[in-house]
Amino acid sequence: MLASRSFSRLATRSISTRNPHAALARSESHSGEDVLFHLGLSSADDLSQFRDVKYFLTGGSRGRIRSLANKVATTLPSHVTGLPFGASPTPIGSTDRYEMYKVGPVLMANHNMGIPTTAILLHEVTKLLSLAGADDPAFIRLGTSGGIGVTPGTVVVSTQAVNGMIEPSYDLPILGKMVKRDTTLHEGLAAEIIEANGGAVPLERGMTMATDCFYEGQGRLDGAICDYDEAGKMEFLNRAHAAGVRNIEMEATVFAAFTKQLGIRSAVCCVTLLDRLKGDQHPHSHEEIVEWDERPGDMILQYLLKSEAAAGAERAA
């Protein structure tokens, strides 16, 4: 079988950081090593096991990532995972802040909730993969979100991230100045994910809004503080919908901007747990929510299977 051209993985380039001061940081650490503080790893560890990483999958909840690691281990063929029959993945490094697993070429870690913890994870995982010499890994966020005018249970594959001002920008104060970064996601990777899904999981394309607050930032009326009314909330949600926003979560902007800056292919796939045009609280059953929570991961498993099959066929050709 010929490898699908869009899934081609043979022409690669190493992931790299963009920091001329990296050597200075090492000389300042007391042991001369580069410490990945929150992962509980450092450049003094044997990082060669990360060299073959081709996919980095992340999402907020540690339970979701643990369950995904087990699914990857049982779904991908053993010649890809390298795991002995029946072996389960175990966490790597410290599990205090993040829980990280590696199954063959798939690295997975939870990022917790919101932009700050996600930014820390992105910095440290990118340094880790760069130190290990990994080739062109794709970064994919698998999460939950509130939909806007979207049937609950649908996975939104983001075209672009926007901030809480409905602007396509990740804004970060650096050295006392506001720095704005582009939040466009990789078209080709999204197309491959959608093609691999083959209609199995209901999905839509659209912009994803990332806010700094689940309650006021997302225009909810059910937080502990609320200084606006239903009309103001609906005006905001309708304005976002008219701009092309189809879901709201809390990390897409930093994820898109960080990866874009370093030339890393990235995608954001978040299932919608409710339609915010119809309310603020989750009206669906626990069983439905649990099933929907798994959909982005199930979709990505199909992508991994197809991508690895294409890579294998290309190597054999």
Ligand X SMILES: O=c1cc[nH]c(=O)[nH]1
Task: Return the one option of ligand R1P, ligand X, none that residue 61 interacts with (CB less than 5 to 8 A, by type).
Answer: ligand R1P
d(CA 143, CA 133): 28
Q: Determine the size of the site formed for ligand X (CB under 6 A).
A: 9
Q: In Å, how far from its chain's centre is CA 49? A: 21
Nearest approach, Cβ of residue 240 and ligand X (Å):
13
In DSSP terms, which residues pair with 178 in a beta bridge? 173
Q: Nearer to ligand X by C-beta: 46 or 230?
A: 230
Task: Return the one option of ligand R1P, ligand X, none that residue 59 interacts with (CB less than 5 to 8 A, by type).
Answer: ligand R1P
Nearest approach, Cβ of residue 274 and ligand R1P (Å):
11
Task: Return the one option of ligand R1P, ligand X, none that residue 248 interacts with (CB less than 5 to 8 A, by type).
Answer: ligand X
Q: Does 162 bind ligand X (CB under 6 A)?
A: no
Integer angstrom CA distances of residue 315 from 8, 310, 312: 10, 9, 5
Of residues 123, 214, 244, 288, which one binds ligand X by CB under 6 A? 214
**Residues near 314 by beta carbon (within 8 Å), at least 6 away in sequence:** 3, 8, 9, 10
- Bridging pattern class, strands 169-174 and 177-182: antiparallel
Q: Does 145 bind ligand X (CB under 6 A)?
A: yes
Q: What is the DSSP letter of 184?
A: B
Question: CB-based burial of residue 141 (10 Å sphere; 0-12 exposed, 13-18 middle, 19+ buried)?
Answer: buried
CB burial string 168-207: b at 16+ within 10 A, e below: bbbebeeeeeeeebebebbeebbebbbebbeeebbbbebb
Q: Does 215 bind ligand X (CB under 6 A)?
A: no
Residues making contact with ligand R1P (CB under 6 A): 59-61, 113, 143-144, 214, 249-251
Q: Nearer to ligand X by C-beta: 3 or 185?
A: 185
Q: Does 144 bind ligand X (CB under 6 A)?
A: yes
Task: Return the one option of ligand X, ligand R1P, none that residue 251 interacts with (CB less than 5 to 8 A, by type).
Answer: ligand R1P
Residue whose Cβ sits closest to ligand R1P: 60
Q: Does 156 bind ligand X (CB under 6 A)?
A: no
Structure tokens at 170: 């990740």
Q: Nearer to ligand R1P by C-beta: 193 or 250?
A: 250
d(CA 41, CA 129): 12
Of residues 249, 293, 298, 308, which one binds ligand X by CB under 6 A? 249
Q: Given CA atoms 198, 203, 206, 212 in this order, what sign does their dihedral have?
A: negative
Residues that bind ligand X (CB under 6 A): 144-146, 214, 218, 248-250, 273
